[in-house]
Amino acid sequence: MFIGHYSLGFAGKRIDKGPSLGTLFLAVQWLDLIWPILVLAGVEQFSIDPGNTVLTPLNFEFYPWSHSLLMSIIWGLIFAGLYYLKTKNRKGAFLLFLLVVSHWVLDWLTHRPDLPLTPFTEIRVGLGLWNHKWIEIILETLLFVAGAWMYLRATRPKNKTGTWSLWGLLFFLLLIHFMNIAGPPPPDVKTVAWMGLSQWLIVAWGFWIDTNRVNT
């Protein structure tokens, strides 16, 4: 799942106005933001395996430190704790904890059984929605539209940049989403990892948007 994660970041603004959109994006994508770093460092591994699932050719072979259930909870606690120490916003901190863990939950829905429960066991889970192409595409797209609508209800632009920067990001995310679905398999592991690192730019885009919008 790709834009489905970002949809929860958008929706989070409706629940608590404290965290910026960039912080919400950072939370929902934290597992995928540290994953390519661990891959490039040789700590975690995946391979390109066309046909691994209907919607993705990526075979996630070993990624317990970024994507196990236990570590998602630990990352969420660290993320929320740091935010609370800085802001003293309990509601916002709890929201960010849930958003970090939500990444694992959405992956559990879409991945085949490759998600580890802990770094210390061999048990892997996943419902495999990626093997049900149109159901996954429709559900994820609807989730994204709902999240974007909630963000639009929770904020308003304070200048023209606040309008076109948001709509530009929404279009960009949808474009990448459908390119991932329709495009050819990536050429190699390192290309995927570096593309994963580029999501830090989307986080920065979220901070930029929020500086040009105000809460309603």
Q: Could you give the residue ranges of the DSSP H alpha helices within the chain? A: 3-15, 21-28, 30-40, 64-67, 69-87, 90-110, 133-154, 160-182, 189-197, 199-211
Instruction: State both tokens at 127.
Output: 């419902």
- Span 86-98, mean pLDDT? 97
Segment 171-194, tens digit of pLDDT? 999 999 998 888 888 889 999 999
State the CB neighbour count (10 A cutoff) for residue 136: 21
- Span 125-152, mean pLDDT? 96
Question: What per-residue confidence (pLDDT) applies to 184?
Answer: 86
Question: What per-residue confidence (pLDDT) applies to 153?
Answer: 96
Question: What per-residue confidence (pLDDT) applies to 167?
Answer: 98
Q: What is the DSSP letter of 42?
A: T
Q: If you average pLDDT over every residue of the chain, what do you get?
A: 96
- Span 108-130, mean pLDDT? 97
| C-alpha angle 186-203-95 in degrees, rounded to nearest 5 | 115
- Span 73-100, mean pLDDT? 98
Segment 4-17, tens digit of pLDDT? 999 999 999 999 99
Segment 191-215, tens digit of pLDDT? 999 999 999 999 999 999 999 999 9
Question: What per-residue confidence (pLDDT) applies to 168?
Answer: 97
Whether residue 1 has pLDDT greater than 90:
no
Contact 15, 39 (CB under 8 A): no
pLDDT band at 120 (very low <50, low <70, confident <90, very high): very high
Question: What per-residue confidence (pLDDT) applies to 70?
Answer: 98
pLDDT band at 43 (very low <50, low <70, confident <90, very high): very high
The pTM (predicted TM-score) of the whole model is 0.96
Whether residue 3 has pLDDT greater than 90:
yes
